[in-house]
Amino acid sequence: MRVTLSVNGKPATIDVEPRRTLADALREDLGLTGTHLGCEHGVCGACTVMLDGLPVRACLVLAVQAEGASLLTVEGLAGEDGALHPLQQSFTEHHALQCGFCTPGMLISALDLLNRIPNPTRAEIRSEMSGNICRCTGYNSITDAILAAARSLTQKD
Amino acid sequence: MKPAPFDYVVAASPREAVQYLADVEDASAKIIAGGQSLMPLLALRLARPSLLVDINRIPGLETIERISETTIRIGTLVRHRMLCAQTNSPLLHEAARWIGHSAIRTRGTIGGSLAHADPAAELPIVAVATGMVIEVMGPSTQRTVDAQDFFIGTLENSLADDEMIVSVISPLPERWGFAEYTRRHGDFGLVTVAAAEVQGEVKIAVGGVGSKPVRMLESEGLVNDSVTLSGQLIDQAARAAAASVEPNGDFHGSARYRIGLVEELVRRSLRQLGSGQADSEVDWS
């Protein structure tokens, strides 16, 4: 089936089987391998992307269901000039990744968190980020990074 | 971890959706709404439908309307995120907050959660406690099912193969309490309790202790027969609830541990019902 959608601001058309998940379509059909697949059944959070401005598990959405949708993946976070998004910058500064596998999902979930709660407490971050699993157990530095990004983003406004 | 092949159609109306279901000869067609329960089943190949009928683009099913002073009608496609945002039913707001994570609540729907009939899921428990009425459509039928009769067993509901949930009539309780215990925020509850007073009658439903939400009839009797909800009565009702359940143990918690949770969470939900205030939440920091 033909699916027309927008990914990181660019139009895209793909031809996929109905059973193709959005995550596989992003990786295999569009070559956007920044979206990672861990568990492939909605538990680990690694494949989290924004669909029409709201976070979704890309493994729990069929590509054919994304007809007409506007997606944001980790590849779309940095600026046109390659400048890192404040969250990405903060993740690097606070050592919020070790192997990096969970990071794309962490960044998108963190972006959703800051969209909803611009000034989160540590407890709110721990609770809101509990849907993203990091097997390097770097949760403290991830929390530090999100907290610092929240501060820098709200100071700019 | 990839779904088996299936055909896929987008339905334009509920009637068209159920007609698609009826037209599949081996009765293996499935409705897909938010997909937050069905997609894992497909990925694990625990479900292998021949046809998926997508209802996400049917107009008019994503609304909440006030139909009387004391009831609202919730369209089957209303997302958990929208239940969190609405103010008509504080109980549904609170319960929806406990469902999964933000990315799950974006897509998951009330109709999907009820139809999936997971005995530990929040919305079936609230549906039974508040006495929701589920509005169901088939190719040539339209009927309503009381939540109490809708759930049959683990992942089993009373829908025919060619029926779908169109909407839910949800009474707004005068007083309510909700308590859930999870190891991590967003996980399924080990035990979940909803207590709701609708038209003067209190019902208490518990999840995580059986194959569907279980009513605590003895505890309800104690509460409904009494004029005031004293601390002593709440303790008595909580103990009666704990004595009435026979949960299975698993690696998340033993049977005895779950019985202990039932007593404490029934106590907390009745305290909240009586006082209008929740016990302090767990500090996750």
For B120-140, how does the pLDDT look when each residue is reduced to its tens digit (9 = 90+)? Answer: 999 999 999 999 999 999 999
* Interface residues from chain B to A (CB-CB < 8 Å): 1-8, 32, 35-36, 39-40, 42-44, 52, 54, 56, 81, 100-104, 106-107, 184-186, 283-285
Structure tokens at A119: 């000034």
User: Mean pLDDT for chain B?
Assistant: 95
Hey, is the C-beta of A123 within 8 angstroms of any chain B C-beta? yes
- Domain ranges in chain A are 2-76, 86-156
- Please compute the mean of the pLDDT values over residues B161-178 and round it to a whole number: 97
pLDDT at B285: 35
The confidence score (pLDDT) of residue B270 equals: 97
* pLDDT tens string B71-97: 999 999 999 999 999 999 999 999 999
Query: Where does the pLDDT of residue B276 fall: very low under 50, low under 70, confident under 90, or very high at 90 and above?
Result: confident
Domains of chain B: 7-54 (3.30.43), 64-171 (3.30.465.10), 175-274 (3.30.390.50)
Q: What confidence tier does B280 reach under pLDDT thresholds 50, 70, 90?
A: low
Per-residue pLDDT band at A157 (split at 50, 70, 90): low
Check if the beta carbon of residue A46 is closer than 8 Å to that of residue A102.
Answer: yes
Q: Per-residue pLDDT tens for A32-54? A: 999 999 999 999 999 999 999 99
Tell me the mean pLDDT in the region B31-46.
97
pLDDT of residue B284: 40
Segment B130-154 shows an average pLDDT of: 97
Helices marked H in chain A: 22-24, 86-93, 103-116, 122-128, 139-156
**pLDDT value, residue A137:** 75
d(CA A49, CA B9): 24
Nearest to B83 by CA among B34, B12, B142, B118: B34
The pLDDT of residue B25: 86
What kind of fold does domain A2-76 have according to CATH? Ubiquitin-like (UB roll) (3.10.20)
When pLDDT is cut at 50, 70 and 90, the band that residue B279 belongs to is low
Residue B179 and residue B193 in contact, taking contact as beta carbons nearer than 8 Å = yes
By three-state DSSP, how is residue B42 classified? Answer: helix
Q: Give the residue on A whose Cα is nearest the Cα of B184.
A: A130
DSSP A82-96: -PPPHHHHHHHHTT-
The arrangement of secondary structure in A86-156, i.e. its CATH architecture, is: Orthogonal Bundle (1.10)
